[in-house]
Structure 1
Amino acid sequence: MARLTRAQQQERTRAEVLTAARQEFAEHGYGDARIDRIAERAELTRGAVYSNFTGKRALYLAVLADAAEHARARAEPPTEFPESPGRALGAFARVWLERLPFAGDTPGSGHFQLGSLSGVLDTEQTRTALAELVRFEALLLALAVEPSAAVRTRTVRLAELALTLLHGAAALAENAPGVGDPFDLARAAEHLADITLIDDAEPPHLSFVAPAQPATDPWAAPRGLRDEITGRPADLGVDGVVVVLGVRRLSAAEEAVRSARPGDAVTLVVVTDDPAEVGRLARLRIADLVGCLRRVFAEGDLPRPRIVFDDIGTVCAAIGRKPADDHTEVAIRVRDGLIVARADGRGAGHAVADRDAPGGRAREGRGQRDSADAGRLTDEA
């Protein structure tokens, strides 16, 4: 038998640790799980576990992210698709609520099935990251609920309400399994669409954002990146907008998407200086949400912005920006193989998306996309 390479051995060890950790967390939950027992289950040393994962929190997030990615890969579209925003929210809620534990489940298995983060995110960095991720999830859900219209603040707020309802139900079920009827909760989510909300104007800080700076720099688009929405390779060489956001700046994605011209290919690149924990948390949340969306919406109705994880900084390096951190916000506009506009700092995505590319047509309004524009955006993505 041929000897394994070092990389192959590391991958095997990592897989063995994940399998053992999954069993440990399912039996004992996060709080009572022990690294020593995980190492014993995997027939490895404690040091071998720590050589692959920085600690119990990173390992727990890795296990949940791995499960979410497998679930996303298995997700199949439904035979019928929701015909209204209310039906869409209700259908999404029904899929999401399948994770609720039953009354007979043990605390450990119930918490693990929920993907519970209770007691896990005990640092300011991870808690802030989760808040930004929830806002980002609301944007993606809103884009799926109303796929044919420019994103509206009201729809994003409805999506936030739906996610709040679902996570509140999960928090209650974690401590009182069996409480809350999933069918009633799904109907409640459906009726959220009837709530009267004001479609707020743009955030006031946008009027103070500095304009994007013109440029004529060659654009060497990084290769080997994957779109987390479709699972297909993401071609960053097409004309459009590339916005690099640290995990703790992900809420800025909404203003960038809202400011983009109809027909723009928008790519949101997610970066962090803490891939072991914050990065895994982001992968977990996005993979989980996309897995649910795939089971509710047609592929053509999935959110059109591409989402790319850049763990090694290839996109920032191509842009010519210093290494990224959780607060990064930098953006470029690409046209005909050139970077034609740049911006850095708060509001960078909005500044670049809102700017007309040199030689481009006049900016259109932000109303309903026509079918040609929507088709072109889908093809480019």
Structure 2
Amino acid sequence: MVRLTRAQQQARTRAAVLAAAVAEFTEHGFAAAKVDRIAARAELTRGAVYSNFPSKRSLYLAVLLDTVQREASGTPAPGRAEPLDLPDGTEAFARAWLERLPLAGDSPDAGKVRSRSLTGVFEDEPGRAAMAGLAGLDALLVALALESCRTPRPGRRVRLAELVLTLLHGAGHLAETAPGFGDPFDVARACRRLADHAVEDVWDPPHLPYVAAPTLCRDAWTPPGDLTDVLTGRPVGFDGDGIIAVLGTGRLGAAEEAVRAARPGDTVTVALVTDDPAETGALARLRVTDLAGCLRRAFGPDTRLPVRLVLDERAVLATAVGAGTAAGTEAAVRVQDGTVTARATGRGAAYAAATAPSPAERRTGTDRA
């Protein structure tokens, strides 16, 4: 008899729980699913289930994330020789997103698993706040991809991205509650039409003039290793100049402040942190992984966004920066020539670090602000 190592046994147990949970959630939905039935399906104890997943919600999120990851591994993103134009890019993203809609033969609960439905899963206030922050991050990432498209009128596309996501999530909700209503191809074409209509979209947050100046410094910088940009799947290196912003789920809107204020040539890295890795952290990984897959299928695997996104689940980047992990966390540093040259915390920290004067500007008395 082959004896399994402890890690192998844990992996086997986790796989058995996930397989049983897929069957349970597909048959009964999230609300009516029972952990006792999942344990029985997996031929395990209730304690074995909870030793791997601390709550039914964390288990449901793991099932959805596993679905997203399996779909991504089986659907290679198309290569693109050149950028799409804006209407084509908008429609391509919509089509990629709409692939999740339930199939005609799916039961209602199976359709919810397929569509990654979170209806009724996060009804508490912290969960709703995290959902709102992640929705804003989704809109920024889609906007940055759309801004890379060819267009005679370049500019910010966040409002366009918000409209597209509103339409797509509405289509997803109708697919749950009124199956058969509407045509996904019409929805994709409607998203394309949205790109044809100019929407006034300016970057002018009213609080930026009142952001406190960063603390200027010359601190040693020892970047952590073994981090991955979830948007591309590539390793994250810190061998150039740039901004590192550590943001909790309640401050994800500050990611755009770092992106828009960064200097040409800066690398912007956003580290998403949470003090609730089992649920809020799992939600963040699900949402970001899902969206990244849609972006790669729509725009190609080599689309370079002006931001790298790290899911800092072990808080290694937050620790290196000296930041916390609470929902309201916002801390940022500017790194130049392997040294931390500016630090900021609190509201506006990402903007403050991005606009901090360089050591050369300090010597000459110039300032970007």
* TM-score (ref. length: structure 2): 0.92
C-alpha distance in 2, partners of 1:291/1:75? 9
Match of 2:128 in 1: 127
Match of 1:186 in 2: 188
C-alpha distance in 2, partners of 1:275/1:256? 24
Per the TM alignment, residue 114 of structure 1 is displaced from its structure 2 partner at its CA by 0.8
Q: Please give the secondary structure, in 1, of the residue aligned with 2:138.
A: helix
Per the TM alignment, residue 238 of structure 1 is displaced from its structure 2 partner at its CA by 2.7
Change (3 A) 1:94 1:364: farther
Match of 1:115 in 2: 116
Per the TM alignment, residue 19 of structure 1 is displaced from its structure 2 partner at its CA by 1.5
Contact 2:158/2:201 (<8 A) preserved: no
C-alpha distance in 2, partners of 1:82/1:26? 39
Match of 1:41 in 2: 41
Contact 1:236/1:242 (<8 A) preserved: no
Q: Please give the secondary structure, in 1, of the residue aligned with 2:189.
A: helix
Structure 2 unaligned segments of length 5 or more: list them.
Answer: none
C-alpha distance in 2, partners of 1:252/1:205? 12
Match of 2:170 in 1: 168
Per the TM alignment, residue 2 of structure 1 is displaced from its structure 2 partner at its CA by 5.1
Change (3 A) 1:75 1:221: farther
Per the TM alignment, residue 301 of structure 1 is displaced from its structure 2 partner at its CA by 2.4
- Matched residue type, 2:29: G
Match of 2:87 in 1: 86
Change (3 A) 1:49 1:302: same
Q: Please give the secondary structure, in 2, of the residue aligned with 1:29.
A: helix
C-alpha distance in 2, partners of 1:267/1:274? 21
Change (3 A) 1:364 1:196: same
Match of 2:265 in 1: 263
Q: Please give the secondary structure, in 1, of the residue aligned with 2:37.
A: helix
* Alignment deviations for residues 182-212 of structure 1 (CA, whole Å, 9 cap, x no partner): 1110000001112332222421011111111
Contact 1:69/1:284 (<8 A) preserved: no
Match of 2:327 in 1: 326
Aligned residues with identical type, % of pairs: 53
- Matched residue type, 1:96: W
Match of 1:369 in 2: none
Match of 1:336 in 2: 337
Change (3 A) 1:67 1:330: same
Per the TM alignment, residue 24 of structure 1 is displaced from its structure 2 partner at its CA by 1.3
Match of 1:234 in 2: 236
Match of 1:10 in 2: 10
Farther off after superposition, 4-13 or 105-114 = 4-13
Per the TM alignment, residue 153 of structure 1 is displaced from its structure 2 partner at its CA by 7.4
Q: Please give the secondary structure, in 2, of the residue aligned with 1:268.
A: strand
Q: Please give the secondary structure, in 2, of the residue aligned with 1:215.
A: strand
* Alignment deviations for residues 55-99 of structure 1 (CA, whole Å, 9 cap, x no partner): 111110111122223333444222567632111111111111111
C-alpha distance in 2, partners of 1:47/1:280? 21
C-alpha distance in 2, partners of 1:37/1:119? 20
Alpha-carbon RMSD? 2.1
- Matched residue type, 1:39: A
- Matched residue type, 1:176: A
Q: Please give the secondary structure, in 1, of the residue aligned with 2:313.
A: coil
